[in-house]
Amino acid sequence: MLMSIMGNRLRQSIAKLNAAGPARNAASERSSVLDKKLLAELAAELGGQPPQPIGAGKTIVSAGAAGAFMYVVMDGRVAISIGAQIVERIGAGGLFGEMALVDRSARAATATAETDCTLLAIGRNDFLRLVKAKPLFGALLLRSTAERMQQLAGQVAQLPA
C-alpha cells in the first residue's frame, strides 16, 4: 500500500513536470541502490537468469507502455526521460521500472541505455517473491522510491508559478 501511495505521488510530480515543458535543471545521477554483494544474491535468487546486454542508444521501456518488468542495472548507465528531458541517470546497482509492477500502471517515463549496459529483468511474480523473501531488498526499494519522489518534488518546486 505504501509503495502504491508513493507511486501515485511520483506520477503526479511527473505529470506536473511534463505539463511544464522542458526543465532547466540537470538530471540527477542516482547512487547505487544495491551493492555488488546484494546484486549477486539477487541474481542467484532469480535462479541464474542471465542478465540482458543492451546496446547504447537503445530504448528499454517507453512512457505510456504497459510494464511487465522492472530492471536492475548490472553495469553501464541508463537515462530516464520525461518527454525530451532527461530527469535521472541510473548506474550499476540502480533500478527502475518498479512502479509498473507495484500498481500495474503504464510506464511514467522512457528509459534509454546511455552506454552499453547489462540489465537484470525482474517480472512481477519474482518481484513480489523477492520483496517477501528479502526484507533488505524491499527496504532498499522503498528508499529508492522515496529518493526519486524527493528529487522530482524538488524539480516541481522550482517550476515557475
Whether the predicted pLDDT of 25 surpasses 50? no
pTM: 0.77
Phi first, then psi: give them for residue 57, nearest 5 degrees: 90, -10
Mean pLDDT for all residues in the chain: 82
Show the CA angle centred on residue 40, arms to residues 39 and 41, nearest 5°: 90
Residues 28-56 have a mean pLDDT of 82
Give the per-residue pLDDT at 60. Answer: 98
- The per-residue pLDDT for range 61-85, each reduced to its tens digit, is 999 999 999 999 999 999 999 888 8
Q: Identify whether the C-beta of residue 73 lies closer than 8 Å to the C-beta of residue 93.
A: yes
Q: Using CA atoms, how far apart are residues 21 and 36, in angstroms rounded to an integer?
A: 37
Helices marked H in 21-123: 36-45, 98-103
Give the per-residue pLDDT at 136. Answer: 86
Question: Higher pLDDT residue, 134 or 122?
Answer: 122
Whether the predicted pLDDT of 51 surpasses 50? yes
Question: Which of the four pLDDT bands, split at 50, 70 and 90, describes residue 97?
Answer: very high
CATH number 2.30.30.100 is the correct assignment for the domain at 2-157: no
Give the per-residue pLDDT at 58. Answer: 99
Nearest to 73 by CA among 103, 43, 100, 46: 43
CA 149, chain centre distance (Å) = 11
Residues 101-106 have a mean pLDDT of 86
Question: Which of the four pLDDT bands, split at 50, 70 and 90, describes residue 39?
Answer: confident
Task: Domain ranges for the chain, please list them.
Answer: 2-157
